[in-house]
Every structure is written in structure tokens, then in C-alpha cells.
Structure 1
Amino acid sequence: MTDTSAGSSVPQLSEAQIQAWTREQFQKANKFLAEKGIIPNKVNTSESRYLAPYVAVWKLESTQPTKASYWVISGDLPTDMIGANAAKDARDVIRHFSLAWQLKAENLIQSGAVRDETQRKFANLLIARAQSLFQLHEQEQLWQGQAV
């Protein structure tokens, strides 16, 4: 999913802009893991995917605190992670977060937490991004050439 011309709504970015965005998202993913106490030491570039300037899915490996692999999603959405065994590929990661964020937003709404303005905005953001991720998941042309 490295195609940046997948639709008319995708802004046309120069190669330099795409590279800068990709670097920024990679740094964001690494920082997110580090904040969780996980120090990544390797990126699996063959399994990682991105659609600049919207979403990047990284498969990162760590040896500290233990040897493990993780999927990290970043971009114009909340940065989040799951263990690598929770999804078989980047497309699966997209589907996972689409469903997980819908559930998380529903739980926020059901708990009454959305009476707080910040929580309401967060729930709405999760719903919007979950819907966008689902649409990306369903676009077959983005995933051609990737084992599904």
C-alpha cells in the first residue's frame, strides 16, 4: 500500500514530501513504542505499508524488554499498536484498528464519558478514523501484490 495516487481525494505529494512524511511517521511509531517501554531495533519494511499523508502501518521488532514484534499504526489518526501475532499483514492491521476503535468509541459513549468535551471529541475522532480505515481495507487496488 505505497500507492499515493489511489484516488482523486489523495493529495499529490512530491517524492521528497512522501519521504519526509514517512520518516516522521516512522519516528512517531518508534516514540510511541518507547513511551510504552518497548525499544524497537528493527523495522520489517517488506511488511510495512503507507498511504501518505494518511496512514502508515509499521511492523517493528524489539529485543528490549523482550524479543517481540509489533504492528504500529500512525498518521492522520491516533497512534496505536498491537502484537504482531494479532494480524497477519498490514491490511489485517487496518481492519483490526477499524473494529477496535469502533468498539472503543461505543464503550466511551455507553459509559457516559462523552459528556466530557475531550472524551466526546476523542470518540468522534475514533469513529471517523475507524470508518476511513474500513474504506481503505475494502479498496482492493491498494492491496494488490500483498498476500491477503
Structure 2
Amino acid sequence: MTEEQQQQWVKEHYQVATKYLAGKGIITDSVTLEDSRYLVPLLALWKLTSTDGKKFWVLCGDLPSDHNLVDVAPNAREALRHFSLKWQMQAENLLQANNEEQNKFADLLISRADGLYQLYNDKSLWG
């Protein structure tokens, strides 16, 4: 990807994150860029503040969009770890339902959770 394409991807995924939160009834006021991280074209992890002052980690990209209050993790690296563990637990619960469609989503969550954990574990990404 060119630099311009990468910038466009980041911009689009910021919009994906804010639209995702809006769908949950949360309107964003600002983004903390220095705490947000992107791995173009795989994922974007945003630290967003809502209009009522609450702060959220919002994950989007080539994976399911998800969010949590920033209290779950002090930084982006730990936020990735949090989402990885959260998705592994959600997948386990879905698999217990023994429903074919839910099993497919559980498999996707497991795959993406493994990928997130590998990123969390890759010290070269975190300086």
C-alpha cells in the first residue's frame, strides 16, 4: 500500500470505530491518537472519548469490531491481550450452544483471538 492508501485506510477505520460505537448508543467526542494503534490493513485500535467523558478501547479492521472501557487495559498492548482473552471466552460459550452458525462465529473469534495474542506477544511491535 502507498502512504496515501494507508492514511485512507486509517481514516476509514476511524469512521468504522465511531459508527460502531454510535450503533451502541455511544457518541464520540475525541480520539487520543498517541494511545491508538494501527496495523494496516489488519486492525485499528482506537482510544476514544465519548461525549459523556467515558473512555473506550475500540477495535476494528479485519476482525469483529468490539469495545470496552479503558479500565480493562492501561495501554494498547494490554487492550489487545484483553480482547484476545475476551474473545476466547466468548467463543467457548458459543461452542457450548452447539449451533452451526454460532460455531462458525466462534471459530472466527478463536482465529482472531489467536492473532491478537500473537501481536500482543510480539515485543518488536511494542518497542
Q: Which runs of 5+ in 2 are unaligned?
A: none
TM-score where L is the length of structure 1: 0.83
Give 1:20 deviation, angstroms: 1.1
- Which of 11, 35, 39 does residue 51 from structure 1 map onto? 39
Q: Aligned-pair RMSD on alpha carbons? A: 0.9
- Kindly provide the amino acid, as one letter, of the partner of residue 80 in structure 1: D
Q: How many residues align?
A: 127
Seq. identity, % = 49
The structure, 1 or 2, with the larger RCO (C-alpha pairs under 8 Å, 6+ apart) is 1
TM-score where L is the length of structure 2: 0.96
- Kindly provide the amino acid, as one letter, of the partner of residue 132 in structure 1: G
Q: Deviations over 1:85-124 (max 9, x none)?
A: 1110110110001101011001111232xx23x2121111
What's the secondary structure of 1:95's corresponding residue?
A: helix
CA distance in 1: counterparts of 2:69 and 2:112, whole angstroms: 21
Give 1:21 deviation, angstroms: 0.8
After the TM superposition, which residues 25-104 of structure 1 pair with which residues of structure 2 at under 5 Å, given as runs?
Answer: 25-63=13-51, 66-104=52-90
CA distance in 2: counterparts of 1:128 and 1:24, whole angstroms: 24
Q: Deviations over 1:3-49 (max 9, x none)?
A: xxxxxxxxxx2101111110111000000110111110100000000
Q: Which runs of 5+ in 1 are unaligned?
A: 1-12
- Which of 96, 112, 123 does residue 106 from structure 2 map onto? 123
Larger Rg belongs to: 1
